[in-house]
Amino acid sequence: MKVLLKENIDRLGRMGEVIEVAGGYARNYLIPRGFAIGVTRGRVKEIEEQKKVLGVKAARERDGMEAVAESIRSKPIKVEAQCSATGKLFGSVTNRQLAQVIEELTGNEIDRHKIVMDEKIRAVGTYKAAIRLHPDVTIDIEFEVQGEGFVPEEPPDEEDEAGERQEASPSRSAGADGPGDVGGTGEDGQLESPGSDQEEGTEPGVDAESGPEQTDEPEGDASESPDPDNDSDSRRE
């Protein structure tokens, strides 16, 4: 059966076209719902008038969809969704959510079935989708999925890493214990000089337990001679 389409119907035809369909489909669905009118020999003149009217209507509709497409392209599209700390979504972003965001931004209601996304969106990031607004108007858009409360971590700069390594390395300062230090700090908090670990009251080089250091020299000074005055007195006597 031949019918004149009064609406654009996916996988069937455009407004103002005369197409051939099954009789039952035309009588039970298309014609009762106002999507088409039957084409008969007695309605040829009426059909021609309807085709002209529908042609004008289709052109206006196409121009309107071009304006909607331009409005969508001109605004950044961001979809917010709950996610984990790693950016993985609790669920996925659907074409229904994207249609709602577009309607909020532009004020134009978009049929979610006309939005095609190439992949399942399960993490934050930037994605692409195609929107078939009209048989002659299809646009490709880019949108961003943002996680609520998610802050992406940026790698630290090389200068910052160098500064952190310098602060983390042990610094040498006066008074710190270690090889080559001038001295340490005692229990009372005072600076100790080298050799302060010797017992009080002893001289350097003298063992406190064994006494003065023993030498191999005989007692008395061999270089000392008798007093000449004392010797003369003994002779007189």
Check which CATH number belongs to the domain holding 119 and give it.
3.10.430.100
Residues 93-116 have pLDDT tens digits of 999 999 999 999 888 889 999 999
Task: Give the model's confidence band at 147: pLDDT under 50 very low, under 70 low, under 90 confident, else very high.
Answer: confident
235 domain-assigned: no
Is the pLDDT at 129 greater than 70? The verdict is yes
Could you tell me which residues are beta bridge partners of residue 81? 147
Domain boundary among 94, 122, 147: 147
Q: pTM for this structure?
A: 0.55
Range name among 33-42, 119-128, 170-179 with the lowest pLDDT average:
170-179
17 domain-assigned: yes
C-beta neighbour count of 190 within 10 angstroms: 9
Q: Are 125 and 57 in contact (CB under 8 A)?
A: no
Residues 218-237 have pLDDT tens digits of 444 444 444 544 444 444 43
Query: Which CATH number goes with the domain that contains 34?
Result: 3.40.5.10
pLDDT of 225 reads 44
Q: Domain range holding 116? A: 76-147
Residues 58-107 have pLDDT tens digits of 899 999 999 999 999 998 999 988 888 888 888 889 999 999 999 998 88
pLDDT of 85 reads 84
Cβ-proximal residues to 130 (8 Å cutoff; 6+ apart), any chain: 115, 116, 138, 139, 140, 141
